[in-house]
Amino acid sequence: MSVRYCREKLIEEIDAGHEFDYLLFYGHKASEDGCVTASCCSQWFPAQFEIGGVKYPTAEHFMMAEKARLFGDSDMLEQILTCKTPKEAKAFGRKVQNFDDTTWKSRCSQIVVQANLAKFEAHPPFAQWLTATAPKVIVEASMWDKIWGIGMTAGAKGARDPRQWKGTNLLGFALMEVRDILSGA
């Protein structure tokens, strides 16, 4: 499974004259009234799912567990699988031994697509919400994350212009891939 969306392709489309609407999100808190919101897009959003007989409380847990598996770190894998919060999972993921950046970069987007596909399939209201976002470009508007987000807030000048993004938006593009799969596109 390869991710078909990226910042460079989006910029090429814009340069060719195409216009896009954007869905910018940030944060992982569920709404108080139970309505589905863009927060379900977050890797940290609490939405349990199962892959291969293992239950994951968040997509972040799965991503970090796969990182540990990929690099053969069974000790960190155990810590990730038993920790309670995505913050803890991320911290354990940063301690994975034998990490190789090139290998990780070649696999991480596919891992995030797999996690989010399972998450959205396990929660039909979330899947319905996500598919209804088409054809918008999904953007993680995190000023702190220049890999998975755009390195800018939703209100920042340029947040709706990929040429001005300070980050690559890998999470947003992975979610668009998941949306395509869920909608059969």
Residue 139 pLDDT grade (very low, low, confident, very high; cuts 50, 70, 90): very high
Looking at the structure of the chain, the number of domains it has is 1
From 129, 148, 162, 150, select the one nearest 39 (Cα to Cα): 129
Is 167 inside any structural domain?
yes
Amino acid 184 reads G
Mean pLDDT of the chain: 96
Residue 5 and residue 172: Cα distance in Å, rounded? 9
Residue 141 lies in a domain: yes
For residue 89, pLDDT beyond 70: yes
Q: What is the pLDDT of residues 105-132, one digit of tens each?
A: 999 999 999 999 999 999 999 999 999 9
As a residue count, the chain comes to 185
Query: 126 is in which domain, residue-wise?
Result: 7-29+36-45+105-183
The reported pTM is 0.94
**Cα–Cα–Cα angle for 119, 85, 44, nearest 5°?**
40
Query: Which tens digit of pLDDT belongs to each residue from 8-35?
Result: 999 999 999 999 999 999 989 877 888 8
Q: Is residue 63 part of a domain?
A: no
